[in-house]
Amino acid sequence: MEETISLKELFHTLRKRLSLIIIITAIAAATSGLISFFVLTPIYQSSTQILVNQSKSDQQVFQYNEVQTNLQLVNTYSVIIKSPSILEKVIEKLHLDMTSSQLNESVTVESEQDSQVVNISVKDENPKKAAEIANTIAAVFQSDIAQIMRVNNVTILSKAELGTDPSPIQPKPLINITIALFVGIMAGVGLAFLLEYLDNTIKTEEDIEKHLGIPVLGAITSIDMEQEIKNQKNMQTNIARTRGESYGS
């Protein structure tokens, strides 16, 4: 026989296990906050931009085909920027204690669709180091591309700069804590219903009818003996007082 749970029973379970849900949620949020603020290492990002475009004199005009060629070169340049030949020179110039593969993982090269502008972003634990790496990659690429592709069509638009108070891009404590709160609530509610489902103890007359399927004919209630004795003494005192008043009249 399938059991159905009413909305009233759902709210009763939530109210009954509310302390458990609150504790689990608080632990999840606190753990997330501690990890975000004290365990995870902040990661900073710095970016520079380069323009892929053939230099022209004032008398010359840009041809549509040349622009299309530059757009096609953007994809090729994005690969060359992250190639070992470029990154190894960057490592050598900055005396970085890492391999080209490790540096490759921290470098991101992106460009908007139909745009000749390429963004070079670098992530690092040190914001100053991230800016230095990004600028060095752009400078090395600009100087080497003339030899690699036999063209001189790269211009550095903007260099990576270190702000007065750089903010890390990760971790994001507020987002992490919010996610932990949501997960904690879901876990607490789930555990509350699981415990309620596994709890087969009989506490009320309704539980007897629910689990055994038989009607309740009677119930044995608990009696507070001290209160019962006190009530009997009060009753005897009242009776004796009533009799005394009757004799006196």
What are the pLDDT digits (tens) for 109-166?
Answer: 998 887 889 999 999 999 999 999 999 999 999 999 988 888 788 999 999 998 888 8
Q: What is the pLDDT of residue 73?
A: 83
How far apart CA 226 and CA 232 sit, in angstroms, is 10
**pLDDT beyond 70 at 246:** no
Indicate the pTM of the whole model.
0.69
Kindly state the DSSP code that residue 59 receives in the 8-state scheme: T
Strand partners, 120: 48, 109
Mean pLDDT of 166-185: 94
Mean pLDDT of 212-218: 62
Q: What is the pLDDT of residue 214?
A: 65
For 70-107, give one letter per residue: b (16+ CB within 10 A) or e. Answer: beebbeebbebbbeeebbebbbeebebeeebeebeebb
Residue, of 210 and 197, whose pLDDT is higher? 197
Which domains occur in the chain, in start order?
A: 44-158 (3.30.70.1130), 215-248 (no CATH)
Q: What is the pLDDT of residue 163?
A: 81
Pairing of strands 44-52, 107-110: unpaired
Q: Write the CB contacts of 27 (distance below 8 Å, at least 6 apart in sequence).
A: 184
The strand order across the sheet containing 44-52 reads 107-110, 117-124, 44-52, 154-158
- Among candidate residues 62, 117, 61, 128, the one with its CA nearest the CA of residue 94: 128
Question: Is the distance from CB of 21 to CB of 13 less than 8 angstroms?
Answer: no
Mean pLDDT of 25-39: 95
Q: What is the pLDDT of residue 241?
A: 66
Q: Write the CB contacts of 171 (distance below 8 Å, at least 6 apart in sequence).
A: 36, 40, 42, 43
- Among candidate residues 183, 217, 161, 136, the one with its CA nearest the CA of residue 29: 183
